[in-house]
Structure 1
Amino acid sequence: MPRSTPFTGLALATLLVLTGCASAEPGEESTPAAGQPTAAASASTGAEPDETGSYSSDELATVVGGITEADGSPLQLIPTEQIRQSMDQARQFLDAVTVSPAECSVFVSNSLDAPEGAGIATGVSSSDGDAIQTIVSAASSPDIGSSSDGGSASAEALGACSSFTVEAQGVAIEQTVEPLEAATDADTTVGTTTVQTSADGGRQQTMTIVGTRGDLAVTAVRTAKDALADDTQDELEDLIDAALAAARRD
């Protein structure tokens, strides 16, 4: 999405790499990457704020690591260095992708560059034989709090790019994006629902919700083969609220 919803690229990078999408042929069923870590390095909860963000990566790892899904399942934390490597791999993968119309590439590339010193953390969980992936990412940077367009850039892009085509390695995937009326405890909440269909009949649905408070952004993403469950939005909103509550400094 455009810069007004920063760091959704964190979730995109994790999704591409952890599900093997960066190495799979488009249209193939993706599989989890081997050697996924089981936990991040131990997090510190009393760190001084970074010069470039109010929350360090260690603090955000503590926040994300304490979140559980509706069924009580914990999120699997990804080490910070692996997140950054995943973002590099995602950029390389997306370099080979062609989007038509070209201006709709914002919905594919997102923001895959974290500012120097930005705090970042990501957790992921899988269910139904990896057919469903849930990702929660948290990021802290002045760039997050500096956006003042109130989401107008996102709305404009959605209006022009409700439907577009993504092509990689000769395979075209049709993609539709619709705005989602999401509500969380964040100061600003935006959301989208995306459906991808391929010529071979494959279908994938993804819901993304981003909540921002000050210089903290929490992104919750769930993707499913075929269709998402009806309670997906409520569960993603709850994940964001849980992260914001854990990050609150009274």
Structure 2
Amino acid sequence: MKKSTHFALLCVAALALAGCGAESGGTSDATPSAEATSAASSAAPSVEPTEEPSPTESAEAGADYTNEDLSALVSSLTDAQGQPLTVMPAEQLDQGIMLARTILENATISPEECNVFASENLQAPEGSTYAAGLSQAAEEMTQTTVTVIAVEDPAVMAEQITKSQDSIDQCTSFEVEFEGEVITSELQPLEVATDAETSIGALAVQTLGSSGETQSSMTVSAVQGNLTITAAKTGTEILPEAQAELEQLINDALAAAE
């Protein structure tokens, strides 16, 4: 495995602890598996059901959203540069989920109290559907990802985002060791505002111990009933204005679900 890809996967594992997954970064040699893993670590967005109820009505009714519904929603979104998001094939996304889970199951996480969030944040609720899309900004060397998940019971989403917020608050600094490499991750909670019922955000800076290489990832996650939308931007440097871009993506996804 190439060093940069190894680093990307470790970063994904570290971010998954906080329940705020991010893209694998703006590296040109990141593999599809790395991209899929990063998207899999994110919690997810909403979509257009056949009868098109409002997001609140859909959530309260536990509306059924297929993977195709969610993929259609993701494909309707554009990033800050006006580029449409490319929907990740379901098979590739499933591969990423399994890979992220494998990394965390075989990694050593410290402090120990942060270890509990690894399994919780990579367990898809029973009956859930999901989709993810991404775009790349060549000039900025960043990647933007939107991930969407729908569950049958809205209470599941409310509980998950609470756990994610707790993990961000408790694990602002932690390490993930995997196959001899150590990633140090520093998490900074963000005050975010979206049109959703509940929103959280974080800025993460990861450092690879062997080389000192760094990568930054900003994520915003929002819950609207039984839907969760996570927008993430990753690159060598993430500027403060990225927060507004991610919040807008969340709002655009909510609007598309109406």
TM-score (norm 2): 0.74
Distance 1:166 1:8, change over 3 A: closer
**Is the aligned partner of 1:46 residue 2:24?**
no
Q: What amino acid maps onto 2:135 in structure 1?
A: S
> Per the alignment, in what secondary structure is the counterpart of residue 121 of structure 2?
coil
Superposition pairs of residues 59-98 of structure 1, within 5 angstroms: 59-98=69-108
Aligned with residue 229 of structure 1, among 239, 244, 251: 239
How much is the aligned-residue C-alpha RMSD, in angstroms? 3.6
Task: Give, in whole Å, the separation in 2 of the partners of 1:58 and 1:120.
Answer: 9
Instruction: Decide whether the 8 Å contact of 1:97 with 1:167 is kept in 2.
Output: yes
CA apart distance, 1:113? 2.6
Aligned counterpart, 1:32: 30
CA apart distance, 1:59? 1.1
Aligned counterpart, 1:216: 227
Instruction: Decide whether the 8 Å contact of 2:183 with 2:208 is kept in 1.
Output: yes
Task: Give, in whole Å, the separation in 2 of the partners of 1:33 and 1:47.
Answer: 38
Task: Give, in whole Å, the separation in 2 of the partners of 1:191 and 1:208.
Answer: 5
Q: Which has the higher helix share?
A: 2
Question: Which structure has the higher relative contact order (CA within 8 Å, separation 6+)?
Answer: 2
Superposition pairs of residues 1-250 of structure 1, within 5 angstroms: 8=19, 11=21, 15=23, 31-33=29-31, 46=50, 53-105=63-115, 111-128=121-138, 131-146=141-156, 153-199=163-209, 200-225=211-236, 227-248=237-258
Percent identical: 35
1:195-249 CA-to-partner distances (Å, cap 9, x unmatched) read: 1112322111111111111101111011112x2023110000000100010012x
Instruction: Give the count of matched residue pairs.
Output: 225
Which 5+ residue runs of structure 2 have no aligned equivalent?
A: 1-15, 37-46, 53-57
Aligned counterpart, 1:24: none
Instruction: Decide whether the 8 Å contact of 2:32 with 2:92 is kept in 1.
Output: no
Task: Give, in whole Å, the separation in 1 of the partners of 2:247 and 2:125.
Answer: 26
Q: What amino acid maps onto 2:234 in structure 1?
A: T
1:149-195 CA-to-partner distances (Å, cap 9, x unmatched) read: 69654444334311111111222221111211010010100111111
Instruction: Decide whether the 8 Å contact of 1:182 with 1:209 is kept in 2.
Output: yes
Distance 1:45 1:162, change over 3 A: closer
TM-score (norm 1): 0.76
Task: Give, in whole Å, the separation in 2 of the partners of 1:123 and 1:140.
Answer: 15
Task: Give, in whole Å, the separation in 1 of the partners of 2:139 and 2:161.
Answer: 36
Task: Give, in whole Å, the separation in 1 of the partners of 2:63 and 2:179.
Answer: 39
Which 5+ residue runs of structure 1 have no aligned equivalent?
A: 21-28, 38-42
